[in-house]
Amino acid sequence: MGEAKKPQFVDLIRTIGDDDEIEDFSEESDAEVEFQPTKQKNKRKVDFDTDFQFVSSAEEYNKDSWNDLTKYVKRKAKTKTDDKIKKVLVEAPHADSDVSLSDSELKHDKIREKETRKKAAPNENFFETVDLDTEHASFYQMNLSRPLLKAISDMKFVHPTPIQASTIPVALMGRDICGCAATGTGKTAAYMLPTLERLLYRPVGGPPVTRVLVLVPTRELGVQVYQVTKQLAQFSDIQIGLAVGGLDLKAQETILRKNPDIVIATPGRLIDHLKSTPTFGLDSIEVLILDEADRMLDEYFAEQMKEIIKQCARTRQTMLFSATMTEEVESLAAVSLNKPVRLFVDSNREVAFGLRQEFVRIRQDKEGDREAILAALVCRTFREHCMVFVQTKKQAHRLHILLGLLGLKVGELHGNLTQPQRLDALQKFKETQIDVLVATDVAARGLDIQGVQTVINFVMPATVEHYIHRVGRTARAGRAGVSVSLAGEQERKIVKDVVKKAKHPVKSRVIPPDILEKYKNKLEKLEPQIAQILQEEYEERQVAKVENQVNKVEKLLKGEKGEARPWFQTKKQRKDEKKRLSLKDVPKNKSDKDKRKHKKGAKETPDERVRSEMGKVALLQAKLAKKKQKLTKINAVVDVEVGRKAGVKRKKTNFGSDLWDTKSAKKLRHEANAAKKGKVFGKPQQKKKRR
């Protein structure tokens, strides 16, 4: 007999032995990460990616949400700015430098907590105790169809977010919704999943009709909603159309003529198609969705929204969603929606929970140092997955050139670019081909870019709501993120408001003076190269302008005159609206033109550039303040009864009770008898004694 085999306890969990050394994590677990400059090398091109993974199927290999947009893009994204920057960098003597930071630049920034002075608010934490996610811990408990559940699983969605858990059941009931939740909490899936579920049971066999309309304020947000919707509907036969400005008009017309089930559009381009595209209309709209509702319902879209809603069916389901829901939107929702359900998951005045907020104070006489401070932050500490927000398109383009000449991979996103260029910049940033994206507020709303680690505000925005939208590009869906804002003396008020409302301590970052001086010298040396690139671009624009004019004249001579597309406003109405909505109402006289011509050739100083940015913010703040001073509409009838208890349901009609209710008659008799007896206001009068 051989020896008995000893049992092998392979699957058992190991226990800690007496001699084992255990690392102590008790101190490090609560320690906060400090973002300081570290030694980093420039990324070199490698032959094989270490993070490469094989996919499981050919379908997964070929699936790309960007490929579906190619049918809407007619022109290729051509930008020569990066080529000019590369040319300058190649000619520079230090172009082959391997290490990006010197030892002197590794000096740590001083970071301290800002003191908060705020009064205790007893009702401030009311919403924190409510857990809306407990009722629906899984998407499988929400009565969704199998094609949608399969798409949810394919998109790696595990548990619904609070706004999704509260919105989907209510939307499936067909109720109107006014929803508000923090940025990055999945509002797109919250309104799109119940909409797709409804479309899965649409009538089959009849002519195709458009049943759902989603309106968004910006083109980029429209493209993003389109991509998410295509992914959610990938296992169904639901047709989706995109109608946003800047993309190929003919391709959009071809798709809209087929009357897709869902149309995602910006207001201007939608009206254009309603006037020009045959067989396309909004008569059969069953669901109307307004994403970023506070932006969609402001004065800039007022006339367009009136025209669109006028053409929609009256018996529709309407859903409004935003991260910051203003009082004006709430009052409008109360009037325009049909018994709406108010779904405010959390406060609409708070930033994401995982966001670390930092501020860099700028002295009154040091406003011109903003570019140097930004360069120091981006080059030393926040080199990857960083978004920089500016107020003007001109400053965004300048920072693109400046940071590019410093050796960073930079892109820009603003209104002066063509739509293919904007989509190309967004795609490159999402795919980490560029590390820093300089953008205006066109990218501040709704965009979900995975992996954004840092948001830097070159100047503070006009309001706290704008600030919440900007910093909401990071710390999304429970992740951590950092926001760094440069704040001067004129921006102290908005900084105080942000600090008061912050749940976590706000940090103050101080860049060492010697580091700041070093970067100021760097930027001064780069000024001739920046001016050269800007001049070359200006000359190219002038040549292109002349070529376009020549082409127009040639077409006129040949008799090829293009027909003007119809619009719902006359030229005079559009001109008056543009003048009314412009930030500057001062008429331009001859002296202003002369001053502009004189300044055009002059070199702009850093202080003047910052003053221009701050001036734009001040004009926007003045307009918002003027708007708040307008008197609110007075109702002819009081809506809420005085002394009515909260939570008590009001009767729909008093017709039945009025027939047998005698309380009012008894009251009148009582008052009449009291008057006869000499009572005043219920108190008996003393009778006069007879003498």
The per-residue pLDDT for 306 is 84
Residue 687 contacts by C-beta under 8 Å, 6 or more apart in sequence?
678
- In this predicted structure, the answer to whether residue 682 has a pLDDT above a threshold of 70 is no
Percent of the chain with pLDDT over 90: 37
Query: Rounded CA gap, 275 and 263, in Å?
Result: 16
Q: What confidence score (pLDDT) does residue 133 get?
A: 43
Are the beta carbons of 437 and 397 closer than 8 angstroms?
Answer: no
CB 295 within 8 A of CB 446: no
User: Quick one: tokens of 618?
Assistant: 């001040």
Bridge partners (DSSP) of residue 214 are 264, 289
What are the tokens at 76? 């290729």
Distance, in Å, from the CA atom of 579 to the CA atom of 251, rounded to the nearest integer, reads 33
- For the chain, list the domains and their CATH numbers: 77-106+351-527 (3.40.50.300), 129-344 (3.40.50.300)
Tell me: pLDDT of 151 over 80. Answer: yes
pLDDT of residue 265: 96
Q: For the stretch 375-402, what's the b/e string if a residue is b when 16 or more beta carbons lie within 10 angstroms of its beta carbon?
A: bbbbbbbbbbbbbbbbbbbbbbbbbbbb
Range among 283-287, 345-349, 475-479 rated most confident: 283-287
Encoded tokens for 310: 């006028």
Residue 440 pLDDT class (50, 70, 90 cuts): very high
Question: Between residues 91 and 318, which one has the greater pLDDT?
Answer: 318
pLDDT tens readout for residues 603-613: 788 888 888 88
Q: Is 182 exposed, middle or buried (0-12, 13-18, 19+ CB in 10 A)?
A: buried
Per mean pLDDT, which of 20-29, 335-344, 643-652, 670-679 is the most reliable? 335-344
Question: What's residue 69's pLDDT?
Answer: 73
What is the structure's pLDDT at 274? 92
Looking at residue 649, its pLDDT comes to 52
Q: Which residues of 132-141 are buried (b: 16+ CB within 10 A; e: fewer)?
A: bbeebeebee
Q: pTM score > 0.85 for this model?
A: no
Least confident window among 111-115, 369-373, 482-486:
111-115
Pairwise CA distance, residues 532 & 524, whole Å: 14
Q: CA-CA distances (angstroms) from residue 307 to 177, 303, 567?
A: 22, 6, 11
Residue 194 makes CB contacts below 8 A (sequence gap 6+) with 167, 168, 171, 172
pLDDT of residue 242: 95
| pLDDT tier, 588 (very low <50, low <70, confident <90, very high otherwise) | very low
Q: What is the pLDDT of residue 638?
A: 38
Given a cut of 60, whether residue 616 has pLDDT beyond it is yes
**Mean of per-residue pLDDT scores for the chain:** 78
Average pLDDT over residues 278-292: 91
**Given this model, what pLDDT does residue 198 score?**
95
Residue recorded with tokens 């912050």: 502
pLDDT tens-digit series, residues 628-648? 766 555 444 334 333 444 445
| Closest by CA position to 613, among listed 410, 383, 399 | 399
pLDDT digits (tens, 9 = 90+) for 495-514: 999 999 888 889 999 999 99
- Given a contact cutoff of 8 angstroms between Cβ atoms, the answer to whether 357 and 116 are in contact is no
Greatest CA separation found in the chain?
138
Per residue in 643-653, pLDDT tens? Answer: 444 445 555 55
Q: What is the pLDDT of residues 29-76, one digit of tens each?
A: 444 567 777 766 555 555 555 555 665 555 555 566 667 777 777 666
User: What pLDDT sits at residue 65?
Assistant: 66
Predicted local distance difference test score (pLDDT) of residue 659: 53
E strand or H helix at 302: helix 302-311
pLDDT (0 to 100) of residue 9? 44
Please give the average per-residue pLDDT across 420-428, as a whole number: 90
In this predicted structure, what is the pLDDT of residue 651? 53
Residues in contact with 315: Cβ distance below 8 Å, sequence separation at least 6, in sequence order: none
Is the CB of residue 570 less than 8 Å from the CB of residue 438?
no
Q: What residue type is 369 in one-letter code?
A: D
The predicted model gives 293-307 an average pLDDT of 81
Phi, psi (deg, nearest 5) at residue 328: -65, -40
Give the whole-angstrom CA distance, residue 396 versus residue 542: 21
For 474-502, what is the mean pLDDT?
Answer: 90
pLDDT of residue 192: 97
Specify the pairing of strand 240-243 against strand 355-361: unpaired
Q: Which helix (H) or strand (E) holds 680?
A: strand 679-680
Q: How does residue 25 score in pLDDT terms, banded at 50, 70 and 90? A: very low
pLDDT of residue 587: 42
Q: What percent of the chain has pLDDT over 70?
A: 71
- Predicted local distance difference test score (pLDDT) of residue 174: 92
Phi-psi sector, 330: left (phi>0), alpha (psi -120 to 50), beta: alpha
Residue type for 440, please?
T
DSSP code per residue over 194-220: HHHHHHTTS--SS-----EEEE-SSHH
Cβ(61)–Cβ(129) below 8 Å: no
- Digit-coded pLDDT (tens) for 368-412: 999 999 999 999 999 999 999 999 999 999 999 999 999 999 999
Residue 185: predicted pLDDT: 83
pLDDT band of residue 591 (cuts 50, 70, 90) is very low
Contact 568, 271 (CB under 8 A): yes
Q: Which letter, b or e, does each residue of 255-286 get, where b requires 16 or more Cβ atoms within 10 Å of its Cβ?
A: bbeebbbbbbbbbebbbbbbeebeebbbeebb
CA end-to-end span of the chain: 138
Say yes or no to pLDDT of 292 above 70.
yes
Q: Is 235 exposed, middle or buried (0-12, 13-18, 19+ CB in 10 A)?
A: middle
